[in-house]
Every structure is written in C-alpha cells, then in structure tokens.
Amino acid sequence: MKYFPVFADLDTASVVIVGGGEQAAQKVRLLRKTRARITVIAETVTDELRDLAQQGAIAIAMRAFAARDLDGQRLVYAASGDRAMDAAVSQAAQSQGIPVNVVDAPELSTFITPAIVDRAPVTIAIGTEGAAPVLAREIKTRLESWLPANLGLLAARAQALRSLVAISIPDGRARRRLWERLLQGPFRQAVLRGAEAQADHIFAAEIEGSREPATGRVSLIGCGPGDPDLLTLKAVQRLQEADVLVVDRLVNTKILDYARRDAERILVGKTPGRASISQAEISRILVREASAGKVVARLKGGDPLIFGRAAEEMAALQAARIPVEVIPGVTAALACAARVGLPVTLREHVRQFSVVTGATAHGEPELDWAALTAKDTAFAIYMGVGNAPAIRRNLLAAGMKPETLVVIVENGTQASERSAATNLQDLTDCVVQLGIAGPAVIFVGLDWQGAGLQRPQNVIVHRRRVQPGRPQEQAPVCAEGFL
C-alpha cells in the first residue's frame, strides 16, 4: 500500500486550486460537496467558475500563482495544465508541508483523490494508487447500484442517537451488538422507507432488550484450503461480528483481514511434531471467551466437520450452554480436485468417493484397506504425506493394482500450490523426490482419461525410472504419454 487512505476534515478549511480550466472546475465540483472555503487562482477561468464566484460559492484571484497564496491552506490542487507551473505549485506546497495533488501527475503529488460514492454522511473512497482509474470507476458504479440512495438518512439517524445509546448502554460489546441489530435489521428498513414512528418503537424495544446481560456465542467457521475468495458470505459476516478470533495454523492470514481490526486474536495452531495447544485447552478457551459475553469466531482450515475436530468443541460448548453454530467451508478435497479438474465421482466408473485420514495421534491410520480397494471406489487422503510408505504398502497388500493413478495436490488454492500425478507403486518415491511436505491431499483411483478430460499441463507427472544395471537409482520423469 503506497497511499494510506484518510478522510480530511475540510469543514470551513481553506483549499486553493491553481488553474481555471475544465480540470480545475472538476475539482471545484467535488470540493463543493464539503464546506471548504475554495479559492481559484488563474489568469483566465471558465464561465462555470465565474458564475460560482458571482454566487459567492468560491473566490477567484485573477492573476498568476505566487507561493504566498498557499499560506494557511489545508489542501492544494494544481490543475493549470502547464506542467512547469504545476511543478512549481507542488514544490511550494511541499516546502510548507501542505498536501498537494497535481492532476495527472502522481509523481508530483503527495495525495490522490479517489473515486467517491457519496451517501453523506456515508462516504466510500475507492483508489487504485493511480494504476487503473477505469477499475475504480467500475467499482464505484457497482457500489452506486447496490447502496440505497437514501442510506445517508440511516447514518444521520444513527448519529443523532449515538449519545443516547452511549448513556443507555455503557458496556462496549453490548453497545456494538445493538448497533449491529439497529443498522442491519427492522430499524434500518423502517428508517429507509420513512416510517419514523415505527423506527422509534423498534429503537425503544432494542434499548430495553440491550440492558440484559450479554450472552456470548461461538461460530465454527470453515475457512477453506487457503484462497480467501472461497469464503462463504456467512463466514465473512461472522468474522465481522466477532470480538475474538481463535485461529488454526492452516488458516490463511489474509482471511483475518475480513475481521474487525479491534478483534482479539488467539492463535491455537497445531504443528506436527512440535509442542502445541491441546484440543482440550482450545475448547476451554472457547468456553471462557464466550462465557464472558463475547462473540467468538473459531477459524478452521477447510470445513470444520471434516477432520476439523468440530464435534469436540461443539460438545464442550453445548455442555456449557453456549450457543454454537457451524459455518461450512470448502473442504480441501473438493477444492484441490477442482484446482486440477479431477471429478471425484463419475457415472459408471466411480460410484463411491471417500475422505479418509492418513495420520492419527498414534501414528499409522487403521483403515478398512479392503473397502478402499473395492471396485468403482475412489478416495482422498488427508494428512497422508508423512505416512505415504505405509499407505502404499497397505493398499498394495489389500490388492490394489500398482498402476492405479495417484494425484497429489500440495498447498491447494494457494500461491505455492503444486500438483503431481503418479501411480500407487511410485507414490513414496514421488513424495520423496518432489519434496512434498504438505499440507497436501492425495487422491487415489481418480483419473482424467475416464472422464474424457485432458490432464492439466501444470500437473507434474512422476514415474520412478530404473536404469539398466542400476536398480536402486530413481528419478522423476515427465512424459506426455504417461497418463
């Protein structure tokens, strides 16, 4: 971020615009939405600017710019169209520490003017750091069509009630929840349609209800395999409501940007082979925070109900009589399969698809290996990279063919994503030779050819190569005809 977004207080402040043409007029139109005292300095001006001066809306100095014109100014715009003049204005402003914007010259500017959606007192600023004004305009257009034209009425009503709410509801968390209900529920709708009496009645009832002790709650949120764009709308809503975030290790840190900046963050991630917070302690944290009346968001990678230990946390919360809900997420198996275009079911070929774990607290998983090798069956293995040799050995012993296709997707949906295709016989070698460390999903029994699809070019093909006379030497090889 090169430009830090701020809102400048221009109420009765002095602003100078150097230039009298169309570019200067555009800045005047924008600034007139404020109560700034606007002065235009130019030897010639447009009829529009001259008319505004005659109306007393702006002041005009019909002369050349001088550095003393900047004394006492809050902001400066250089819009003369003369690059030398604009550069001189910029230099003079910066020497006095006054923010300056030079039209179409970000290199001479210390601030830029964003695209604006005006629903005063609600104002939305959209900037692209000057890189793509057309993109900013597109976003502005979408927001204009989405936001009610009279949204400002709701904000103004909230502003008028703020002091009363602060006096009536001294607890900060209870007050925030009241505002959430007011501005997102029936009170909002009543204000926007002009039903003042109904809005007053709803407000009085909400104030009375907010005097009751705050009740905490917990949302177990599935954050998907990593890509923030895969978050559900409800997940984003719960993130924005939360007072406390209890975060797993595999949750992409970019997802935390969707939460309130003042939300407390408690990191409870488990790292294999290292000391970490126990599941029992995590459950105690959830109960403790919610019992204090806080709204808690428990962030988990993938989906909470698929190897996310949601059941243990739900049981602890229910035992403590704390409301808990599960917000589903895109589980890693489906997300990773989608990334490599690999159907997980296929009519007449794959009638059953399972998701199994490749690791347990005690080491190797105890799975029904025979069932996994049944006809028309495919499956995805979570947390299986470390136990790849045992998985390979058990599947071969249960009768699975050595040439069965295996696809591995590591860090699915993230920038560091890698995908590899091999066969069951070469599974261990593939993991070792390609240095796959996880998190990864291993797919067994699925293929593109059976679905009439082409293998994506970004999928590495690995086959153990045994050279004559050197049976122990192994190396990865990519070959178009392998699959």
Name the catalytic one among 86, 243, 248, 447: 248
- Tokens 């059941």 label which residue? 311
Asked whether residue 164 is assigned to any structural domain, the reply reads yes
Asked whether residue 256 is assigned to any structural domain, the reply reads yes
Same domain? 188 vs 167: yes
Q: What is the pTM of this model?
A: 0.73
Q: Output the pLDDT for position 478.
A: 37
Number of structural domains in the chain: 4
Rounded distance between C-alpha atoms, residue 148 and residue 183, angstroms: 13
Distance in angstroms between the alpha carbons of the first and the last residue of the chain: 45
Q: Output the pLDDT for position 477.
A: 41
Asked whether residue 137 is assigned to any structural domain, the reply reads no
Asked whether residue 480 is assigned to any structural domain, the reply reads no
Secondary structure element (H or E) that encloses residue 310, with its range: helix 310-319
- Locate the DSSP E strands across 157-223: 217-222
Tokens of 386: 């470390």
Q: Output the pLDDT for position 138.
A: 95
Chosen domain end from 330, 360, 388: 330
Same domain? 324 vs 354: no
Same domain? 225 vs 253: yes
**Which residue type is seen at 6?**
V
Domain housing 195: 151-210
Asked whether residue 262 is assigned to any structural domain, the reply reads yes
Same domain? 408 vs 451: yes
- Locate the DSSP E strands across 112-225: 115-119, 122-126, 217-222
Same domain? 248 vs 182: no
Same domain? 91 vs 43: yes
451's CB contacts (< 8 A; 6+ apart) are: 343, 346, 349
Candidates 196, 125, 185, 120; CA nearest to 151 is 120
Rounded distance between C-alpha atoms, residue 268 and residue 260, angstroms: 19
**In the annotation, is 243 catalytic?**
no
Same domain? 359 vs 271: no
Each residue's pLDDT expressed in tens, for the chain with a length of 483 residues: 888 999 999 999 999 999 999 999 999 999 999 999 999 999 999 999 999 999 999 999 999 999 999 999 999 999 999 999 999 999 999 999 999 999 999 999 999 999 999 999 999 999 998 888 899 999 999 999 999 999 999 999 999 999 999 999 998 888 988 999 999 989 999 999 999 999 999 999 999 887 777 779 999 999 999 999 999 999 999 999 999 999 998 899 999 999 998 899 999 976 655 667 899 999 999 999 999 989 999 999 999 999 989 999 999 999 999 999 999 999 999 999 999 999 999 887 888 999 999 987 777 778 999 999 999 999 999 999 999 999 999 999 999 999 999 999 999 999 999 999 999 999 999 999 999 997 999 999 998 988 889 999 999 999 876 555 555 444 434 333 444
Same domain? 348 vs 456: yes
For residue 92, what is the domain's CATH number? 3.40.50.720
CB 332 within 8 Å of CB 436: no
Same domain? 187 vs 230: no
Rounded distance between C-alpha atoms, residue 46 and residue 50, angstroms: 6
Kindly write down the DSSP assignment for every residue of 241-255, as one continuous string. Answer: H-SEEEE-TTS-GGG
Tokens of 192: 């926007």
CB 446 within 8 Å of CB 343: yes
Q: Output the pLDDT for position 173.
A: 84
Asked whether residue 126 is assigned to any structural domain, the reply reads no
Q: Output the pLDDT for position 438.
A: 77
Rounded distance between C-alpha atoms, residue 25 and residue 318, angstroms: 63
**In the annotation, is 270 catalytic?**
yes
Secondary structure element (H or E) that encloses residue 481, with its range: none
Q: Output the pLDDT for position 252.
A: 93
For residue 282, what is the domain's CATH number? 3.40.1010.10
